[in-house]
Amino acid sequence: MTSIALTLDAPRAGLADDMTRDDNRRGFERDETDQFRQLVQQLVDDGDDRAASAGRRARRTLQEMAPGYKRQPVLTLLPQTMDQCPLCDRFNCPGHDCPPGVTALDDQERKDLSDKVRDANRRSETRPR
């Protein structure tokens, strides 16, 4: 008795696995960034050769190109202002003793301070996060 199973080849991994194996066999493939790097390296070498033939050295840094030039800092670290109290500039201010050192307020001063705290709280609540 003849069966269809006997005429079929042994199962294989499939087309995708064959392509993966073929790609892995070829190894690393260069891309357009390598061509760009090669071009830049040729220009650097050419510039170095021209500078050397003129008895100079090619300038590499900003200080060599523009001596005395002062750059603006790229990053300036400032104190965090997210949880800073606008009245006393303390972080995580509890509010009941804000501003610190204020004692013996009369009714008008207490009302002014209360209004100031209320306004500061409104500003902080409407501020975009």
Give one DSSP letter per residue of 38-64, joined into a string.
HHHHHHHHHHHHHHHHTT-----SHHH
The rounded mean pLDDT for the chain is 75
At 112, which amino acid appears?
Answer: D
pTM for this predicted structure: 0.30
pLDDT at 59: 77
pLDDT at 22: 85
Please state the rounded mean pLDDT for residues 56-84.
74
Highest mean pLDDT among 27-36, 82-91, 94-103: 27-36
pLDDT at 39: 92
Give the domain ranges of the chain.
Answer: 30-57, 89-129
Closest listed residue to residue 47, CA positions, set 35, 64, 60: 60
CB atoms within 10 A of CB 52: 11
Report how far Cα 127 is from the mean position of its chain's Cα atoms.
Answer: 24
Question: CA 68, 70, 71 angle in degrees (round to 5)?
Answer: 145
Look at the block and give the residue holding tokens 């005429």: 7
